[in-house]
A and B are shown apart, each in its own frame.
Chain A
Amino acid sequence: MFEYHEPRSLAEVTSLLAAHGEAAKVLAGGTDLLVQIRKGRHQPRHLLNIKTVPGLDQVNFAEDCVEIGAAVTLHDGEKFLSAYPEYAVLCRAMHSVASCQIRNRATLAGNVCNASPAADTVPALVVLGANVKIHGTHGDRLVPVDRFLTGPGRTVLLTGEVVSAIVLPRMNGGGGRGVFLRKARRPSLDLATANVAVYAAGESCRIALGAVGPTVIRVREAERLLARQGLTAATAAEAARLARSAAKPITDVRGSDEYRLDLVSALTEQALLTLAMEVRA
């Protein structure tokens, strides 16, 4: 049994978190948290509904960045960003999560904070170079998404800290393009067996893999290869091989480690070939 709070400011959230420590949990959409509470995996004594903090449900376009507030749902995030082709990779990833009903509640920030190795938005955020904006008693700090996540269910958040927004760099017509691909046992309502995001802007290309390690994996060796030799059918195949050797999958109900390695290689190559066509178009 827990006490329910409706904080009206981020300051109130951080002071409640600081006061109650481990016994307090932030409630965003609740699509992970309520299931975890029901399964007995968490027994918080205080639930802090951050949807009652004014402004957190906004997407703010600034000169050099786009701030997606911590209460913005996957549905709304996708709607806001769908007009910007450079963010299509993230829209695709947000749309891949669960079902229509869940996307109407689940938040983008919650998908990151839950720190599931299979979280679909994470590889897309990583290739876009997104940051997590953290609010604490001493002010704000920005942490890149891949450094924010430290293991399954683990993040760099300290006691008293809350995520206030996910921050995307503004491409300002720079015209990057990305592709997100995933494979699951069924298209909806199943976590990915493996997922891949790739992004190219100018000469640089980024590749991130999900569900094949404790946290998201950047395939830097393949990125360097593509920067040196450009994106072709041959370099895409070589990058896929490098992605395969960077992955560290486990065997579980969704697939064996061997199958996941094959998926990583196939999805990476397919994503890069699709990207090559999009960049040319």
Chain B
Amino acid sequence: MKTITLTVNGRPEKLTLSPHRTLLDVLREDLGLTGAKRGCEAGECGACTVILNGRPVNSCLVLAVELDGADVLTVEGLGGPEGLDPLQQSFVDNFALQCGYCTPGMILMGKALLAKNPRPSEDEVKEFISGNLCRCTGYENIVKAIMAVAAGGERHG
């Protein structure tokens, strides 16, 4: 067992962990944060995506014991009492989800992309989310939802 301290969605957490557990296990089972989804557990679907030290990663492929001092953002860390994050709202407005299983990962990928490239092209959006599978939407509305926020809501279509 190893004890680590890390920040999750701005809150400090102290955890004592067995080394084989992944960040995904710990978020879902110890911290009650079920936004990150368990899909393939092999890096192939992106449903478990979280932002680790500013960068999107597959939480199913990160050992939690490695994360002493790390900063983690999950979909639960977006928005606040005043309402949804603009990208979350855009997913609602653009019908960018059906079952919702891929949505936390897709939204975090959108946040990560817009943080480093506020005005991506449609192709850049598609490439950036290409590690995230969606079984339902056909992707078009997901791309639209991200593009709508990229354009600051000024651009349409």
Which A residues have a C-beta under 8 Å from some C-beta of B? Answer: 1-4, 27, 29-31, 34-35, 38, 47, 49, 51, 75, 98-102, 104-105, 187-189
Count, chain B residues at interface, CB 8 A: 28
Residues 97-127 of B at the A interface (beta carbon under 8 Å): 109, 112, 127
Q: How far is the CA of A100 from the CA of B41 in the complex (A)?
A: 16
A-B contact pairs, 23 of them (CB 8 A): A1-B20, A3-B19, A4-B2, A30-B61, A30-B62, A31-B61, A38-B41, A38-B42, A51-B66, A99-B46, A99-B131, A99-B132, A100-B112, A100-B130, A100-B131, A101-B43, A102-B131, A104-B55, A105-B57, A188-B130, A188-B131, A189-B43, A189-B130
Q: How far, in Å, is A184 (CB) from chain B's closest CB?
A: 12
- A2 engages B19 (CB within 8 Å): yes
When the two chains form the complex, which single residue of B22, B41, B49, B65 contacts A101, counting CB atoms closer than 8 Å?
B49
- A34 engages B130 (CB within 8 Å): no
| Given A99-B46, A102-B58, residue A2 in contact with residue B20 (CB < 8 A) | yes
Closest chain B residue, CB of each to CB of A52: B66
Please name 17 further chain A to chain B contacts, defined as beta carbons within 8 Å, in addition to the given A49-B63, A101-B43, A104-B57, sorted by A numbering.
A1-B20, A4-B2, A4-B19, A4-B65, A27-B63, A30-B62, A31-B43, A31-B61, A34-B61, A38-B42, A98-B43, A99-B43, A99-B132, A100-B112, A104-B52, A105-B58, A188-B131
Closest chain B residue, CB of each to CB of A1: B20
3 interchain residue pairs of minimum CB distance:
A99-B131, A4-B19, A188-B130
Interface of B, secondary structure class, is mixed
Q: How far, in Å, is A41 (CB) from chain B's closest CB?
A: 12
Which B residues have a C-beta under 8 Å from some C-beta of A? Answer: 2, 18-20, 22, 41-44, 46, 49, 52, 55-58, 61-63, 65-66, 109, 112, 127-128, 130-132
Q: How far is the CA of A188 from the CA of B56 in the complex (A)?
A: 16
Q: How far, in Å, is B27 (CB) from chain A's closest CB?
A: 15
- B55 engages A75 (CB within 8 Å): yes
Q: How far is the CA of A43 from the CA of B44 in the complex (A)?
A: 22
Q: How far, in Å, is B114 (CB) from chain A's closest CB?
A: 13
Interfacial chain B residues near A100, Cβ < 8 Å: 56, 109, 112, 128, 130-131
Closest chain A residue, CB of each to CB of B52: A104
- A101 engages B56 (CB within 8 Å): yes
| Given A99-B46, A99-B130, A100-B109, residue A34 in contact with residue B56 (CB < 8 A) | no
Closest chain B residue, CB of each to CB of A75: B55
- A105 engages B131 (CB within 8 Å): no
